[in-house]
Each structure stands twice: as structure tokens, then as C-alpha cells.
Structure 1
Amino acid sequence: MTDSPTARELWLRPYHPAPEDGDLTLVCFPHAGGSASYFRPLADALAGVAEVLPVQYPGRQDRRAEPPLTSVPRLADEIVAVLRSLPPRRLVLFGHSMGACVAFEVARRIERDSSHDSHDLRGLIASGRTAPPTLRDTKVRFMDDDAVIAEIRRLNGTDDRLLLDDDVIRMIMPAIRGDYLAVESYRYEPGPPLRCPVSVLVGDDDPQVTLAEAEEWREHTKGDFRLRAFPGGHFYLAEQQDRVVRALAEDLARFR
């Protein structure tokens, strides 16, 4: 009999040991339908720069027996609780698409409760997402499976070969639907801007967010703000992996 995994083991996936010469941790939040393994290439590339902890949401891969969480605030609450179980460290949060919403809400909670939190939030990196108050409800949660698959193909978020496999579709569809319900029902609650710096990354041909919309993240921090655009669409991260790694390394150095 094996011991049940801890909450930390369920939610956080350290693909490499943390560097011995620092306590800087990059926490990575996936897009709708995504998983921790999406960030494996970034974790490999940044292994010597910072500890990289991709988040594994419920309802996918080894957590597919669990029901997905269909609320961004609920996801944020769960993840904050797990992060607080870690030894004190400097944190940078990096989220792509839906993950940017979750990372933003995690950042708000850490800063709101900073007097009771042992972690030092050094920065937020938001990718491929409009600023929190901007609502772009694509209503994917109401679509049938074929239309959901067509939307994913339009954004190039999943290998098309996987979407031709009925077994794979049945396996991943509950997580995809749960995530879209979470992100499409998310509503920003007004509050003070973050104190930490915010860096925004976006594809210059992203159908989900314009450069002007990405610029609106500036209103959500009292700290430094930086916006960088990359050639490509919503999943420019895969197309521009080397450039994205360099940008993340620059931000991590800047946030130290």
C-alpha cells in the first residue's frame, strides 16, 4: 500500500530540484484544459535559474478522477493554501490565459494577507489574457463537444492528433468544460492594485487579447509594469519558446 499524496504533491509538480543558491520560485498556472506538463519545457530551460513549480488543476492527467473546480476564486483559494504549506520563499507567479486570472487572484490573496504570510511575492507575469475587468465571454461552456474542439483548434492549444482520438476526447472534455465554466464565469471584484510589479506577455496576433487590452494590466499594479509582444497567436509560447524563456529569465532577475 502506498501513502496518499499530500495536497502539495497533488497541486505542485517540481520537475527539477530547486537551485541550491536561492529561494526564488516561479509558480506556473496553465490555460483552460491545460496541465502542469505544459510547462515542462520552461521548467527544463529555467532549471538553473529558479525553482519552477507548475500547478496541476484537478480533473486532468493523474487527477482526472477528481471533479474539476469550476470557479477561479475557489482555485485561487486552494492554491494559496498549498503555497502556504511551503517553506518561506520569494514567489513569482506566471499564468497563461485562464492561468493569468488564477495567478492574479492568488497574488491578490497573498498581498491581502501579507501580515500573516511567510512568502514574499516578487512579481506577477500574465500571458495571453485581457486585464481582469475586461470581459470577453466566448460562451464555449455552452457549446457541444464538436464546437469546443473546433475552438481549441482555432487557438492551437492542443495537438490536433489528440483531438482525433475519441478516447482522449472523452478523457479531457470534463476538464476542458470545467475550466471554461470557471474562466467564463469569472467576474473581477474591484480592489486595490497589486503592490508587486506586473509583466505582461502576449502574441501579436492573438484573437483573444489585443495589445491595447494587454496594456490595461498597467492599471492593476502600483509597481513596475512591462508589456512585451511576441510573433504568434494565443499559444505563441510554443512558437517562441526560446524568446519566452529569455523574457522569463529577465523578469526573474528583475524581480529578485
Structure 2
Amino acid sequence: MSKGPENDRTTRSDRSDWIRRFKPAEQAPCRLVCFPHAGGSASYFHGLTQRLAPDVDVLSVQYPGRQDRSAEPSQQSVTDLADQAYEALKPWTGKPLALFGHSMGAIVAFEVALRLAADGTVPLRLFPSGRRAPSRFREENVHLRDDDALLREVASLAGTDSALLADPDVRRMILPSLRADYRAIETYRHTGGKRLDCPVLALAGADDPKAPLDDVRAWGEHTTQGFGLEVFPGGHFYLNDETAAVAALLRSQLAAAAGG
């Protein structure tokens, strides 16, 4: 495996377009790669990063089309996102990697995990959050709705301040990437085939309408190793209020996986 960069810098060339490292943890035995939800950005995991350092070196994935990548076109498929994120992670495989993804990010993380394993880098753990298993298909067409309907769907999940969504400048800024992300996840189809050779621990909100617990449990069908489910109070964005509890769980899991 290639030796990953050990020093974070503030310049784009040093950290790559895809990877954000808000609080480098050079002595940590492993890295956790975090993949955001539809319309989300790497900064969503800033709080989780702060709570996990210095025990875990957290890498947050920045998809194109948002924040400092807003001038770039957003990807239209999960496959494209996974292909490019996988390439961006190759320099970071000098330490064991675990993957955490929330909502759409859970599926992107799963696809990246498959690519890493095929290349000889089996992740320590996969932590899918707020997302039903890849094999549990549900027909959805939010990406085909008009702007107001799309934003109403986002507001209904209570992950974004409704006042922000009503601001014309904010709407203009987020709508292209948001629609592209919804298109990517709603047109994703799991084709079966190889399962992961790493344990999977799924996380879910008890009242999440987008991820019923029976569908979340089906993540166990996608690994040859152990499976577990942790349920937290809250809905689709339970992580907003349960960051401390999630960080404690991840720290414990990764310490055990890394032999700490």
C-alpha cells in the first residue's frame, strides 16, 4: 500500500479537491473517511472530527458542486462519485481506513469500500448511517420535482434551517448540487454481487422516515463479517443532536478494530 500524506496544509494542492482534514491526528492508528448526505458538504463532519481527534484521523469528503468546489459541475451518479472518491483516497491508505457515510453518503461509502477491497485495501469497518441497505430499493422521484417541491422535501427532514432555504441567494447556491445528488441516489441500483469482507455497523434514527429499521437491518446481507445496528433518538438527521454519542461509539469501535 502507498504511504499516505502525514501533514495537513491549508493549500488545495496539498489536501486535494476531494479530501478535507479539519483536525489532523498524526498519531492516530487509523483513519475514518466521512461521506456527506445529498446536498451536504465536508463541513457537516466538523463537529464529529473535533470529538474524535486525536484518537482518530478524520478525512471528510468534499463532493464537487458545493462550497469551495461550487464552480465545478456536480456528479450525476453514485458510480461517478465513488470512482473519483476512491481515486482520491489512494494516497491515504498508509493507515487502515474505516468509512462512515450518512444518507446518500452511506451508499457512496459502500461503493468506495467495494473498490478499496478489490484493490487489496479491505476497510476496518463500514458505518452506514441514516440509509436503508443497497438491496432495499424504493422508487423515488424527488429530483424530478420543481425547485419548491425539492426544497420542501429537504425541509421536511429537518436537516436545514427553513429560513435559509427561503433565502433566494442560498436557494440559487444549493439547488444545482442538491438536485444532482438526489438524481444520483434515486437512480442508483444495486446490482448484487460481491459482499464486503469487513464488519458493518449501521446507525439509524429511531424515527427516520427515510430509513425504516427493517430496511437498515438488511445491511447485514452485504457483508461476510459481523453486522450490528445502533439506534439513536431522532429522525433522519439524528446526528445533529447525537454527535457526542456517535463519536463515542465510533471511537470504541475503531479502537477495537485497530487493536487499541
**Aligning the two structures, in what range does the TM-score lie when normalised by the shorter sequence?**
over 0.9
CA distance in 1, matches of 2:14, 2:151: 31
CA distance in 1, matches of 2:51, 2:118: 32
Q: Deviations over 1:15-36 (max 9, x none)?
A: 012232x340000000000000
Structure 1-normalised TM-score?
0.93
CA distance in 1, matches of 2:243, 2:93: 30
CA distance in 1, matches of 2:13, 2:52: 25
2:32 corresponding residue in structure 1: 26
2:43 corresponds to 1:41:
no
CA distance in 2, matches of 1:46, 1:161: 31
| Structure 1, unaligned runs of 5 or more | none
Q: Deviations over 1:32-58 (max 9, x none)?
A: 000000000000111111100110000
Check whether the contact 1:23–1:89 (CA below 8 A) recurs between aligned residues. yes
Q: Deviations over 1:92-119 (max 9, x none)?
A: 00000000000000001111121xxxx4
Q: Deviations over 1:155-209 (max 9, x none)?
A: 0121222112100100010000010010001010211210001010000100001
2:80 corresponding residue in structure 1: 74
2:157 corresponds to 1:155:
yes
- The alignment partner of 1:95 has SS state of strand
2:59 corresponding residue in structure 1: 53
2:249 corresponds to 1:255:
no
Distance 1:73 1:8, change over 3 A: farther
2:239 corresponding residue in structure 1: 237
Structure 2-normalised TM-score?
0.92
What CA RMSD, in Å, does the superposition of the two structures yield over aligned residues? Answer: 1.6
CA distance in 1, matches of 2:51, 2:80: 31
2:17 corresponding residue in structure 1: 10
- The alignment partner of 1:68 has SS state of coil
Q: Please, which moves more after superposition, 85-94 or 198-207? A: 85-94
Amino acid in structure 1 at the alignment position of 2:242? Q
CA distance in 2, matches of 1:126, 1:87: 20
Matches within 5 A, 1:106-255: 106-114=112-120, 119-255=121-257
Question: Number of aligned pairs?
Answer: 249
- How far does residue 120 in structure 1 lie from its aligned partner after superposition? 4.8
Check whether the contact 2:98–2:126 (CA below 8 A) recurs between aligned residues. yes
- The alignment partner of 2:81 has SS state of helix
Q: Please, which moves more after superposition, 103-112 or 77-86? A: 77-86
- How far does residue 131 in structure 1 lie from its aligned partner after superposition? 0.5
Distance 1:201 1:87, change over 3 A: closer
- The alignment partner of 1:131 has SS state of coil
CA distance in 1, matches of 2:193, 2:242: 34
Q: Please, which moves more after superposition, 44-53 or 95-104? A: 44-53
